[in-house]
Chains A and B, each alone.
Chain A
Amino acid sequence: MFVNDVTKVYGEGHTAVRALCNASITLQDNEFLALVGPSGSGKTTLLSVIGGLLAPTSGSVVIGDTTLTELSKKEQTRFRANRVGFVFQGFNLVPFLTARENMTVMASISDNSRHDTEERTDQLLEELGLTDRSDNLPEELSGGERQRVAIGRALVTDPDLILVDEPTASLDTELGTQVVKLLASEIKSRGKAGIMVTHDLRMVEFTDRTLRILDGQLLNGSEPAAAG
């Protein structure tokens, strides 16, 4: 994945706010990257641009053989459904769908067949230790279980890129660590590329590399971190 010289400016004239400034990232398959920075530094904006949720003012994002920033909104939506997996801050599962349905719903959204999606869902539920909880609604699951369902939903379409937004924000340290470890292991075992936005520096040790961002600018000197 390539992020090429991406700039995002909100507003115009003297009220313009530069949320991202010439950001460039290269991410290989099988690489898990941490993006850290204080609130308002631009990390969520960068994640949104990479995920095709927000159009940059200039620059481009290339995922595999597709230049995401050249696609129409409709095409970007389809691209996200098929090739990008998201894990959101909090749990953000559909509250009236069971754990299993929260994953199989991707069959209705993506181009994957129902049969393949259901087969992958059952595999993932087993890998994530959720088989016994598959028929439970989110409100009947613990925080860790909910986040594991969210990870399963992100992986069920076998996407090229996994984008993770503050996965530990609603969890205590121990549970947060377990979830990020699990996330890293799932991403690495599948040879996927992953980017995790976090403000929790204890979590970066489970990623391959850390990039720091401040005032919309990626800082030099980010070193590869030890793999978890």
Chain B
Amino acid sequence: MGIALAEMRRRRGRWFSIVGAVAFIVFLVLVLAGLSDGLFIGTTGALKNGDSDALVYSIDGRRSLVRSALPVSDLPEIEGVPGVADVGALGVLLTTASAGAEPFDAAVIGHIPGHPGEPVKLVDGRRPEIGEPGVVLADVSLRAEGVSIGDAATIIGASQPIRVVGFVEDSRCLLANSLWVPVGTWEALRIEVRPETARLGAFVQAFPIRVDDGADVEDVAAAIDRTLGVTETVTTSEAVLSLPGVEQQESTFTAIIAASFVVVGLVIALFFALVTLEKRGQLAILKAIGASNTFLLQGVLVQALIATVLGYVVGFGLAGLLGLILPPTVPVAFLPATAVSLFLATVAMGALGAAFSFRRVIRIDPASALGGEA
């Protein structure tokens, strides 16, 4: 290992180039992953962070938060299904709102405070009480629109403004800023903004549920659908992936990121192939004087790991800097879990790339050190 470290220390120029190449790809991957996570959170936050195990949709709504509609009167029946611990409600109204400055796209979401579906990450202020009129919990992204606690937000088409009493995190819905109001307020806003829906009576798009401890979510979901006959109940993770474009968006980003990792592996493999070729003579001498293949391969592996770790650190730093200067309208999110998994993937690809030169190292004949061939 001492030789491998000395080589990196005293042949810095060569190693800067490989660290730079890895850093560039890591930067690219982290930015892509940040955008992917940002888009995912922006699209799915309202469902994902609602502390529910499953969502009950109307069967003809085909798992869509826009198409589905269920009468509020179904709630007690769902509550009575064995295995159901708690039921909430989600009503979604995609519209435009303003809070003084420019109007913005808003998802006004009706919910039952303290029940499933309510956004869990309160970062400032307080939550509305059940049935409390004229108050709203806003997604923290609205701070970038200049919204503060105590401000009045106006839903375009509604007669009364609503007052912001708290901020929640990761609660956006279909990339729109979310405004969470008690379901009674939502019902009134919906009828004002979409008067044509008044004749449909009191309805919501879905009922988020939590199941009893130890109960099987799939079994409870099937029981709800059997009892009501007009519902399709799916787990929350299935519901998230059923949101329009989410699965396609995830698979597209995953494919790009995977391809970038293949490039990391290829870059490392090519680099070590060239270095091994260049060092053939030197490796033959070391083998002749008694260096084992294990000793030499450990050196290659250590160098690959150091190069990839340094490359990752530099790439991470660059991505972090970019994150600081990106405008808030770009949906980017650098998540620790993603950073850790990408770090492990980078190191694994570095090791795999280095392993491609193992055979070359093993095949070097120590006898070539004699006779001036080395």
Residues from chain A with Cβ under 8 Å of B289 in the complex: 80-81, 86, 106, 109, 153
A222 to B200, CA, bound (A): 116
User: Which B1-37 residues have a C-beta within 8 angstroms of A?
Assistant: 1-3, 6-7, 9-11
- Number of residue pairs A-B, CB distance < 8 angstroms: 87
Is the Cβ of A77 less than 8 Å from the Cβ of B10?
no
Which single member of B7, B9, B11, B295 contacts A109 (CB below 8 Å)? B295
Is the Cβ of A47 less than 8 Å from the Cβ of B370?
yes
Tell me, yes or no, whether A217 is within 8 Å of chain B by CB: no
Is the Cβ of B290 less than 8 Å from the Cβ of A88?
no
Identify the stretch in B167-175, B213-221, B278-286 within 8 Å (CB) of chain A at 4 or more residues.
B278-286
Which single member of B7, B10, B285 contacts A88 (CB below 8 Å)? B285
Is the Cβ of B292 less than 8 Å from the Cβ of A88?
no
Minimum CB–CB distance for A35 against chain B, Å: 12
Is the Cβ of B370 less than 8 Å from the Cβ of A88?
yes
A153 to B286, CA, bound (A): 11
| 0/1 string, A113-135, CB within 8 A of B gives 1 | 00000000000000000000000
Tell me, yes or no, whether B163 is within 8 Å of chain A by CB: no
Residues from chain B with Cβ under 8 Å of A96 in the complex: 6-7, 9-11
Q: Which residue of B lies closest to A92 (CB)?
A: B285
| 0/1 string, B275-313, CB within 8 A of A gives 1 | 000000110011111111001000000000000000000
Tell me, yes or no, whether B38 is within 8 Å of chain A by CB: no
Which single member of A51, A89, A97, A137 contacts B3 (CB below 8 Å)? A97
Is the Cβ of A78 less than 8 Å from the Cβ of B292?
yes
* Interface size bracket, A side: 20 to 34
Residues from chain B with Cβ under 8 Å of A105 in the complex: 2-3
Tell me, yes or no, whether B110 is within 8 Å of chain A by CB: no
Which single member of A77, A137, A165 contacts B290 (CB below 8 Å)? A77
Tell me, yes or no, whether B179 is within 8 Å of chain A by CB: no
Minimum CB–CB distance for B292 against chain A, Å: 5
Residues from chain A with Cβ under 8 Å of B6 in the complex: 96-97, 101
Residues from chain B with Cβ under 8 Å of A177 in the complex: none
Is the Cβ of B370 less than 8 Å from the Cβ of A74?
no
Is the Cβ of B290 less than 8 Å from the Cβ of A89?
no
Is the Cβ of B290 less than 8 Å from the Cβ of A80?
yes
Residues from chain A with Cβ under 8 Å of B288 in the complex: 51, 53, 80, 86, 88
Which single member of B282, B366, B371 contacts A44 (CB below 8 Å)? B371
| 0/1 string, A75-105, CB within 8 A of B gives 1 | 0011111101010111010111100010001
From known contacts A53-B288, A88-B288, infer whether A108 and B3 are also in contact, taking CB-CB under 8 Å: yes
Is the Cβ of A89 less than 8 Å from the Cβ of B2?
no
Tell me, yes or no, whether B274 is within 8 Å of chain A by CB: no
A106 to B290, CA, bound (A): 9
Minimum CB–CB distance for A105 against chain B, Å: 6
* Interface size bracket, B side: 20 to 34
Tell me, yes or no, whether A4 is within 8 Å of chain B by CB: no
Is the Cβ of B3 less than 8 Å from the Cβ of A53?
no
A110 to B291, CA, bound (A): 8
From known contacts A96-B6, A101-B6, A109-B295, infer whether A53 and B290 are also in contact, taking CB-CB under 8 Å: no
Which single member of A48, A109, A165 contacts B286 (CB below 8 Å)? A109
From known contacts A95-B282, A108-B295, infer whether A165 and B2 are also in contact, taking CB-CB under 8 Å: no
Tell me, yes or no, whether A169 is within 8 Å of chain B by CB: yes
Tell me, yes or no, whether A227 is within 8 Å of chain B by CB: no
From known contacts A53-B366, A105-B2, infer whether A110 and B290 are also in contact, taking CB-CB under 8 Å: yes
Tell me, yes or no, whether A166 is within 8 Å of chain B by CB: yes
Tell me, yes or no, whether A54 is within 8 Å of chain B by CB: yes
A157 to B368, CA, bound (A): 22
Which single member of A74, A77, A92 contacts B374 (CB below 8 Å)? A92
Tell me, yes or no, whether B367 is within 8 Å of chain A by CB: yes
User: Which B345-371 residues have a C-beta within 8 angstroms of A?
Assistant: 365-367, 369-371
Residues from chain B with Cβ under 8 Å of A165 in the complex: 370-372
Q: Which residue of B lies closest to A78 (CB)?
A: B290
Minimum CB–CB distance for B262 against chain A, Å: 31
From known contacts A90-B372, A109-B295, infer whether A48 and B287 are also in contact, taking CB-CB under 8 Å: no
A-B contact pairs, 16 of them (CB 8 A): A51-B370, A74-B292, A77-B292, A81-B291, A88-B285, A88-B288, A92-B369, A94-B285, A97-B6, A105-B2, A106-B289, A108-B295, A109-B286, A109-B290, A109-B291, A165-B371
On B, residues with C-beta under 8 Å from A are 1-3, 6-7, 9-11, 281-282, 285-292, 295, 365-367, 369-372, 374
